[in-house]
Amino acid sequence: MNIRKVAIIVGSLLILSLFISTLGDGSSKAEGNGESDFSEVDAYIAREMERQNLPGLALGIVQGDRILYLKGYGQADSSGRPVTPETPFGIGSIGKSITAMAVLQLAEEGKLDIDAPIQRYIPAKFKGAQFIIVRQLLNQTSGFSQISTFSNTLSSINDQDQDALEKNALSYAEKFLQNTTQTEHSYRYSNANYVLLGYIVQQVSGQSYGDYVKEHICSPLSM
């Protein structure tokens, strides 16, 4: 994920912590109308955007099932278009959380065993797949290397290619699963783990990854 996007996410979490702490002592309440005063949050964001050189971000503060505050800050792109609460941002590695949710849903339904070798869910020709279980992909303990992941990404695949996920997953399998014999690995972050998990979601559910996520995660959450 782009480091700037990481800063946006982390900054938002810090902002939420600041807001909750100020609510606790009542100092962020506007006098007389009982509404929250978010001027301290706005000031904090302004400082952090300048300090971290962030061009823009969108903030949402939620308490329970209530949206307390929505606001966009700065510019969305080089045209100067302002960020609003509805401005889309690249999801980056947040997609890994969605993929993990999909895998665990299928496991709860008994359609997938997270302690089974991934060989059960991908083409049998990848012999090394017998030594890696689904749980290791989830936990980033498969032994895959992030550097090798980047060098092996199929840059020629069009983002709109309906088979892009499968092609990338099988490309990673070709790279990593031919000669693997180890069963124990330390933690090593790699996108390949979650590309393969997305492919497994497709194989197990019988749906494309996008359709599965829309139907089983986004729609139930009204996203």
Asked whether residue 9 carries a pLDDT value surpassing 70, the answer given is no
pLDDT tens for each residue of 76-99: 999 999 999 999 988 888 999 999
Domain edges within the chain:
3-74, 94-218
User: Residue 169 in contact with residue 198, Cβ under 8 Å?
Assistant: yes
pLDDT at residue 175 in the model: 80
pLDDT tens for each residue of 48-68: 999 999 999 999 999 988 999
Distance of alpha carbon 209 from alpha carbon 202, whole angstroms: 5
Q: Which of 156, 190, 155, 157 is nearest to 176 (CA)?
A: 190
Question: What is the fold of 94-218?
Answer: Beta-lactamase (3.40.710)
- The H or E element containing residue 71 is strand 66-74
Q: Which residue has the tokens 């749980």?
A: 135
Q: How many CA atoms lie within 13 A of 138 on its CB side?
A: 20
Tokens of 173: 């399998």
pLDDT at residue 103 in the model: 98
pLDDT at residue 159 in the model: 52
pLDDT at residue 160 in the model: 56
Q: What is the CA radius of gyration of the chain?
A: 21
- Name 133's bridge partners: 117
pLDDT at residue 177 in the model: 80
pLDDT tens for each residue of 119-172: 999 887 888 888 899 999 999 998 887 765 655 554 445 555 668 888 888 888
